[in-house]
Structure 1
Amino acid sequence: MCTEWQSWRAGKPGHELGHEAVGVVVDAASSTRHKVGDRVIAMPHWGCGKCPACLSGEHIHCTDQRDLLAETGSSCGLGGYAQYLLKPDYLLYPVPDDIETDHAAMALCALGPSFTAMERMQVSPADTLVVSGCGAVGLGAIVNARTIGARVIALELHPFRADLARALGAEHVLDPRAPDLVEQVRALTGGYGADAVIETSNNEAAPPIVLELVRARGRLAFVTWSGALPVNRITGKGVDIFGCWHWNHDQAGERMMQRVREARPLLDKLVTHRFVLADVSDAFALQETGQCGKVLLYPGGRGAGA
């Protein structure tokens, strides 16, 4: 489960909820990539498979999405909160036999956005990374960073998620509203600022603040959609900035699967709750409280609750 609970909170009805899923192929049609019985990761959206973005594996950035309902004559099948899901075969990535389905599900929005951000920022074990916001994506960023050995400073207000951030390996968890936040981060980084920062909070006010947390010639990545940056500070600090939405399964699939393998103990901590599909409203209500990490939703009869 990802951000669909926000539509639930707003009272917006929808029959295509769920943009991330892992499942089993039940009808392979004419595919030569997959067969019935294969476990697969279903990537988001419905990229055309032909444009420059898709041909480079960046399907998430396709500007000519396919209309699968029109193509198939179906009235449903686009949402992951369902027993069945329609997907082009090139948007399915095979799950290796040694990776459990629950862990494979973390390769989507739990690890995916920050995985790309850290690869593009070239985060290494020598780096100190600030993670702004400890929702599911931010917590996944901590998992990614700690798995590769980077030091993590997290920014979070919610007590439950602050505690979970520490359990996942954040060395410090700071209040993002603190008037001396910049000074705190500099004090923890030899006076210079963090080597890299990833903004996941989607707070309108966050971008100019996190820009001040990164050192001169540092790196800054956004997996969010809100706020604005002052150009004079970007230029003045010489900061490299990256916009990252998801991960490229065509180019980075093997690296992602290895990340999942190495992160297993932390992934087990990151997933705090499991629900069956019939209890999705209860899952939404839990997500609204913030008293959770990543939540898994099962179409069948897997155990519910914590």
Structure 2
Amino acid sequence: MKAAVCTGIGSIDIQDIPRPVPGPGEVLVRIKSVGVCGSDVDGYRGKHPMIGFPIVLGHECSGTIAEVGPGVAASRLGEAVTVEPFFICGTCPFCLAGTYNFCSDLKIIGHQVQGAFAEYMPIPAEFAHLKPDTVSFDEAAIMEPCSGSLHAVQRCRIQSGDVVVIIGCGTMGSFSTQHCANLSAEVIVIEPVAFKREAALELGASHTLDPETDDLVAAVSRITNGKMADVVIEAVGERETLVETVSLVKNGGTVMLIGWTGNDTDPFDLTNTTFKELTVLGTLGFCRDFPTSMKLLAAGKVDIERIITHHFDLDHVQEAIEQLEAGSDGVWKSVVRVS
């Protein structure tokens, strides 16, 4: 089968590799659409601790079930699915408790095992979720970040009327904006790119701020009448934005760290975290969130098409990754159409 193989730092070759055979409890998905993610950039540049070479990258994907492994009903053949990109052991304490995102032997497609920039890919049958006919394959491919942001927002326990500051309106920030708006929160989005600020207002934000020109603390104070935000969601993963979170949240508020710098240690205002009695939360992927995300999309509560700006074919995966890395004008979310 045809695959885009990342053979080393900054190198992707289009190769003919063996078509995988689904194992017990697995299905083989013929890939239709794949979202390009920042972690693909990190893997491509050799900066992701979970990704080595050679590897087929890509973990946000959709397709159709082309083959079933032992123990999987033949009736699933031909199903259109979105893929939750996990392989889990199913037997460790975390899996048995239902928190499989903490699995002791967790493997993620496009990280430790073959990813989706290929014609076919195996996945546990339980993580191949049915795609409604009203949802496109492109939209279904982007269920992964939609679900990851939903998982993070749910951990924040946001109430109607809460003020939520979201730092960054990339893929995760844009979905977080929509999820918070669906909870009737007042959303303030901080984003330097003008077209993303404009789109954030369409996606449910009440206010947008430009970090390059606005005094963020003063602006949030003005909008909230001095109260500051109930929740701050950091969705960039840069040291500078990490530091900003504590100054924007109210006493007793919550900081959610979706963004990841890739560093073992980063600067953080621990003094004010303590004195303001803040709750600081992390988030790891998703867990039982895909079905909910799909229902939100099918019900029109989430707009995915709005953030998809570019399309590529399998031969141009490297270009898609490098374009995202460069932050090219107008690029928000790119989708690779494999078949």
Residue-by-residue CA offset, 1:210-267 (whole Å, 9 max, x unaligned): 1221111222111122334333322322222221122212xx4442222222446732
Shift of 1:10: 6.9
2:130 corresponds to which residue? 94
TM-score under structure 2 normalisation? 0.76
Shift of 1:98: 4.2
- Do 1:106 and 1:260's aligned partners in 2 also have CA atoms closer than 8 Å? no
Which structure shows the higher helix fraction? 1
Residue in structure 2 matching 1:258, options 292, 295, 298? 295
| Partner SS state of residue 175, structure 2 | helix
Aligned residue-pair number: 290
The whole-number CA distance in structure 2 between the counterparts of 1:200 and 1:172 is 17
Which structure shows the higher strand fraction? 2
The whole-number CA distance in structure 2 between the counterparts of 1:221 and 1:167 is 23
1:117 to 2:113 alignment: no
Amino acid at match of 1:104: A
Structure 1 unmatched runs, 5+: 69-75, 301-306
- Do 1:139 and 1:293's aligned partners in 2 also have CA atoms closer than 8 Å? no
Shift of 1:132: 0.7
1:159 corresponds to which residue? 194
1:48 to 2:89 alignment: yes
Structure 2 unmatched runs, 5+: 1-35
Shift of 1:81: 0.9
| Partner SS state of residue 197, structure 1 | strand
Taking a change above 3 Å as real, the CA distance of residues 102 and 49 of structure 1, as seen in their structure-2 partners, is same
Residue in structure 2 matching 1:232, options 271, 288, 291? 271
More divergent stretch after superposition (118-127 vs 256-265)? 256-265
More divergent stretch after superposition (263-272 vs 4-13)? 4-13
Shift of 1:138: 1.2
Pairwise mapping of residues 289-300 of structure 1 onto structure 2 (< 5 A)? Answer: 289-290=327-328, 291-300=330-339
Amino acid at match of 2:242: P
- Do 2:132 and 2:298's aligned partners in 1 also have CA atoms closer than 8 Å? no
1:79 corresponds to which residue? 115
| Partner SS state of residue 24, structure 1 | strand
Residue in structure 2 matching 1:283, options 297, 308, 320? 320
2:64 corresponds to which residue? 24
Residue in structure 2 matching 1:172, options 184, 189, 207? 207
More divergent stretch after superposition (190-199 vs 96-105)? 96-105
TM-score under structure 1 normalisation? 0.83
Amino acid at match of 1:90: E
The whole-number CA distance in structure 1 between the counterparts of 2:222 and 2:186 is 14
1:272 to 2:313 alignment: no
Residue in structure 1 matching 2:226, options 172, 191, 197? 191
- Do 1:48 and 1:66's aligned partners in 2 also have CA atoms closer than 8 Å? no
Taking a change above 3 Å as real, the CA distance of residues 66 and 19 of structure 1, as seen in their structure-2 partners, is closer
- Do 1:164 and 1:293's aligned partners in 2 also have CA atoms closer than 8 Å? no
Shift of 1:103: 2.5
More divergent stretch after superposition (97-106 vs 205-214)? 97-106
The whole-number CA distance in structure 2 between the counterparts of 1:44 and 1:256 is 15
The whole-number CA distance in structure 2 between the counterparts of 1:261 and 1:84 is 26
- Do 1:144 and 1:263's aligned partners in 2 also have CA atoms closer than 8 Å? no
More divergent stretch after superposition (191-200 vs 26-35)? 26-35
Amino acid at match of 2:296: R
- Do 1:168 and 1:270's aligned partners in 2 also have CA atoms closer than 8 Å? no
Taking a change above 3 Å as real, the CA distance of residues 14 and 263 of structure 1, as seen in their structure-2 partners, is farther
| Partner SS state of residue 26, structure 1 | strand
More divergent stretch after superposition (238-247 vs 261-270)? 261-270
The whole-number CA distance in structure 2 between the counterparts of 1:108 and 1:138 is 13
